[in-house]
């Protein structure tokens, strides 16, 4: 039986198959409720990640800098999902969290303006209300290439990766190439406000679309 070491030095034995969320609940119900991800041996992991090997364990909540970054990242995915639902055929590129929020570069048929933001926000709120489980899945390079056969931006990213290091995150019918981690479900996302829409070139190169 493996064990995890908590920040206070306490050791907890864990049964095979137990996940980060199980340990969080064992530590305390309130802590588990506030958890967004966890940390194992200094590495951020999903709450659904197994802990079979044990190690130094810490629960990460949304009021920490690391937890806030995860919340922003997951909110970026919700925004991308909203745009894909509202504007079919949209092609995702990259959407990381940043110091004061998040962004996602997306190729959309037609032209979006700031007047479209309320509609996108409303769809994001609907996605949050659905409380969709956010699930991590490891895929082969060939599978990832099939996923993005019609998306040259993601295809370029996949081509630079190796088998064994490619993961996607799914929420409902939406999926995105991503290393994570993410909150366990869209219902965990809180308040957000979309500020503006701006044009961008792929990879910052004006020769690209």
Could you name the CATH architecture of 2-61? Roll (3.10)
Domain(s) labelled CATH 3.10.20.30 in the chain stretch across 2-61
CATH number for the domain whose boundaries are 66-204: 3.30.980.10
First to last CA, the chain: 54
For residue 164, what pLDDT is reported? 82
H-helix or E-strand spanning residue 121? helix 117-130
CA separation for the pair 128, 76 (Å, rounded): 12
What pTM was estimated for this model as a whole?
Answer: 0.91
Closest CA to 90 of 72, 111, 117: 111
For residue 203, what pLDDT is reported? 56
Neighbours of 35 (CB within 10 A): 24
For residue 81, what pLDDT is reported? 98
Domain(s) labelled CATH 3.30.980.10 in the chain stretch across 66-204
Give the pLDDT of the chain (209 residues) as one tens digit per residue.
788 999 999 999 988 889 999 999 999 999 999 999 999 999 999 999 999 888 999 999 999 999 999 999 999 999 999 999 999 999 999 988 988 899 999 999 778 889 999 999 999 999 999 999 999 999 999 999 999 999 999 999 999 998 888 999 999 999 999 999 999 999 999 899 999 887 665 555 444 55
CA separation for the pair 190, 188 (Å, rounded): 6
């Amino acid at each position: 039986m493996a064990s995890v070491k908590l920040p206070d030095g306490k050791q907890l034995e864990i049964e095979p198959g137990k996940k980060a969320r199980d340990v969080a609940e064992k530590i305390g119900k309130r802590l588990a409720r506030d958890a967004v991800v966890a940390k194992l041996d200094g590495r951020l992991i999903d709450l659904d990640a197994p802990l079979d090997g044990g190690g130094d364990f810490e629960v990460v909540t949304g009021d920490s800098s690391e937890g806030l970054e995860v919340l922003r990242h997951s909110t970026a995915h919700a925004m991308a999902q909203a745009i894909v639902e509202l504007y079919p055929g949209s092609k995702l590129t990259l959407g990381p969290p940043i110091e004061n929020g998040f962004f996602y570069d997306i190729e959309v048929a037609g032209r979006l303006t700031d007047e479209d933001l309320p509609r996108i926000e409303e769809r994001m709120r609907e996605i949050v209300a659905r409380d969709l489980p956010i699930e991590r899945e490891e895929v082969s390079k060939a599978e990832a290439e099939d996923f993005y056969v019609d998306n040259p931006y993601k295809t370029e990213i996949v081509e630079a990766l190796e088998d064994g290091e490619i993961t996607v995150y799914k929420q409902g019918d939406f999926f995105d190439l991503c290393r994570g981690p993410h909150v366990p479900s869209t219902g965990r996302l809180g308040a957000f406000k979309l500020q503006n829409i701006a044009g961008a070139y792929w990879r910052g190169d004006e020769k690209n679309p």
